[in-house]
A and B are shown apart, each in its own frame.
Chain A
Amino acid sequence: MLSISNLQASIGDKEILRGLNLEVNPGEVHAIMGPNGAGKSTLASVLAGREDYDVTGGSVTFDGKDLLDMAPEERAAEGIFLAFQYPVEIPGVSTTNFLKTAMNEIRKYRGQDPLDAVQFLKLMKEKMKLVNIDQSLLSRSLNEGFSGGEKKRNEIFQMAMLEPKLAILDETDSGLDIDALRIVADGVNQLRSPERATIVVTHYQRLLDYIVPDFVHVLYKGRIVKSGPKELALELEEKGYDWIKAEAI
């Protein structure tokens, strides 16, 4: 589904990804771990199409298509979803209105008819339960004045609505207490399916107790330096990242 080959990316003069390779197949959950500054969030951003980064080499294909050639909105319409580490506050646009616009734009891209108000509300009600999100929150300006937990739940709610093929969770655990973490993780787990792949970017093993990955990759200095089964996360939790750094040199 997703095939990343020798990906290199920089911001300004600073090289961040230096030849990253990763294969993700439908149904799989991949965890990307690594110390601060390793390039985890850069990877998530480059996949979603953030323009601050320059891709200087390598390739990324998604369902056989050249992902790097697509605008962020095209990537979303092709089925990529990024749950933001810091969801953006958008004054004056309600979550409901925002999502309705997004869904219908994606449907348009796919040649589908727009959802009418009734269909949309029905879908919304159904998905709200997944992350235990309140209707009143959704009619407020998107993320404006939301608590950290509410913002992250809203991200997962949006993911549930948009039903992506590939979900990328960028440090979704940051800033969450254990209860909020559990709600968010439950939501993600309910969305797991044989067709959907997930990339979980995280610094800590904690989240992976709840979202259990099939593969764990350690990112260091812009490359994946170690991959393994879910137990690798526990090992990292126990031993820290220093031994990886030592091995990588």
Chain B
Amino acid sequence: MTPSYASYNEFKEQLLAAFRDNEERMNGERKSPLHQIRRTALKQFDQLGFPTIRHEEWKYSSVNGLLKQSFDLDETTTLTMEDLAPLEIPNLDGNIIYFVNGRYHAELSRLISPADQVQILSFAEAIKSDPELIDTHFARYANYQENAFTALNTALASDGIVIRVPANTTVEQPIILRFITDTRTKNITSQPRNLVLVGKNAEVMMAESYRTLGEGASFVNVVTEIVLERDARMQYYKVQNETEKAYHIGTTQVNQADNSHFYSATVTLNGNFVRNNLNIVLNGQQAEAFMYGLYMPNGRQHVDNHTLVDHAMPNSYSNELYKGILDDNSTGVFNGKIFVRPDAQKTNAYQSCKNVVLSSGATMNTKPQLEIFADDVKCSHGTTTGQLNDEALFYMRSRGIPKDEARTLLLYAFSQDVLSQIKIQPIREYLEKVVTQKLTK
């Protein structure tokens, strides 16, 4: 077992050493363009270090708790289908791809879509079999210059998924990525890296689900890069339901071309510390992005959603709705940034964040940031944070609905604005069930 406490620098040193060890085992790959990017990213991570709350982007989200943990960088474990039974999502059908401690797990995974609809490769495989593809796209979108965690992932990511949807193709079955962290014997950290390329006029539904097994600590630092070509459409859901000892930092970076449509829902049900970055670059005309979010921290959990929509071209549209239900001593953060570039005339950008705070110990920090450099645009933003509506509660009780039931019904209805957006039905039903359980607890 590793020591129970590592200082701030120890964890960083451990990660830097892992990179060097890995490098020493390399032969020809050391000179590859991929490795050159990794080296740059590592240098960047070394220079940036882990952010502190003095960093504007991390003002309300201290990673000190994470840095106090120690993690075993050896992620090997054995896991069977039976171990996964409690984590199952009922009735889920589609391409179900398992990652255990960040590693693609072929035996557990099931690919059913034909190869002419979609090509799915593990990132580790793709590095070997299609280095050109990786060189063309890897780390081209997610910013590792400024974000230490993205830099860390870029340097160390060894596995994940690479998905390619050819032009004019609809992937009929959804693609579900299940990231399982097995902490039954040790504290685990992983750096999954995903790349999704959706061709012209192609369509795909994808979900990322994060779960933890065992009582140990976990730290998942994931980066997903998504490229939507002209007229492409994508449904993207990120669902976290991890444990009280789970640290999760993730960046989803989306690049959209003309008339592409991106629909996303980010649902955070459980985790000690969760930071979701969703960055969308609307790099085409008539491109549209819809972002929904739901977070329900309780206990001492912390959930931070940072969204960034960059309207780079004229006539694009973005709409986001994030909703939070905060209980006990939990904290939430919503930071929604909208850029409208000088060229992006006729931009429509809407943002809304609504929160219900159920206890006096819970805190919600919201910060909308609009930076508009074009003059012919329609932008709006609004945030509300309040308690459950007493009038509504009394109304329901006066009809015979007990207080707890009334409260659950109101909060469930509040969450439905987000959950109803999820088009993969078994995932929506699963979430509705877990949300109800969490509300009635």
Contacts and interface: CB of A to CB of B under 8 A. Distances in A.
Contacts of A106: 400
Interface string A71-105: 11101110001101001111111000011011101
Contacts of A90: 392, 395-396, 410, 413
A77 B400 contact: yes
Contacts of A87: 395
**Residue in A72, A93, A101 with the greatest tally of chain B CB atoms within 10 Å:** A72
Given A88-B391, A92-B414, A92-B417, A109 B400 contact: yes
Contact of B398 (A82, A89, A101, A109): A82
A98 B389 CA distance: 16
A105 B397 CA distance: 10
Nearest to A94: B413
A105 B402 contact: yes
B391 A49 contact: no
Given A90-B410, A92-B417, A73 B394 contact: no
Interface in B378-419: 389, 391-392, 394-403, 405-406, 409-410, 412-414, 416-417
A51 interface: yes
Contacts of A98: 396, 399, 401, 409
Contact of B399 (A91, A92, A109, A162): A162
A136 to B, nearest CB: 19
A103 B406 CA distance: 13
A158 interface: yes
Contacts of B391: 88
Contacts of B405: 101, 105
Contacts of B392: 88-90
Given A51-B394, A88-B391, A73 B413 contact: no
Contact of A72 (B398, B410, B413): B398
Nearest to A102: B399
Given A88-B392, A88-B395, A90-B395, A102 B400 contact: yes
A206 interface: no
Interface string A37-56: 00000000000111100000
Interface residues of A, number: 31
Contact of A73 (B401, B412, B414, B417): B401
A123 B127 CA distance: 65
Contacts of A51: 394
A48 B401 contact: no
Contact of A49 (B397, B410, B413): B397
B196 to A, nearest CB: 32
B323 to A, nearest CB: 11
A17 B429 CA distance: 50
Interface in A152-166: 158, 162
Contacts of A162: 399-400
B414 A76 contact: no
A73 B410 contact: no
Contacts of A109: 400
Contacts of A73: 397-398, 400-403, 406
A109 to B, nearest CB: 7
A89 B389 CA distance: 10
Contact of B416 (A82, A88, A92): A92
B414 A72 contact: no
Interface string B134-176: 0000000000000000000000000000000000000000000
Given A92-B414, A101-B409, A71 B403 contact: yes
Nearest to A76: B400
A81 B398 CA distance: 7
A93 B413 contact: yes
Contact of B395 (A75, A84, A91): A84
**Residue in A76, A81, A82, A158 with the greatest tally of chain B CB atoms within 10 Å:** A76
A158 B394 CA distance: 15
A82 B397 CA distance: 11
Contact of B413 (A81, A88, A92, A102): A92
Contacts of B389: 88
Contacts of B398: 48-49, 72-73, 75-76, 81-82, 84
Interface string B371-382: 000000000000
Contacts of B412: 92
B397 A76 contact: yes
Nearest to A78: B400
18 contacts: A71-B402, A72-B397, A73-B398, A75-B398, A76-B399, A84-B395, A88-B389, A88-B391, A88-B395, A89-B392, A90-B396, A92-B412, A92-B417, A98-B399, A101-B401, A102-B399, A105-B402, A158-B399
Given A88-B395, A106-B400, 6 more contacts: A50-B394, A51-B394, A81-B399, A88-B392, A90-B413, A92-B416
What are the nearest 4 A-B pairs in CB distance?
A92-B413, A76-B400, A72-B397, A102-B399
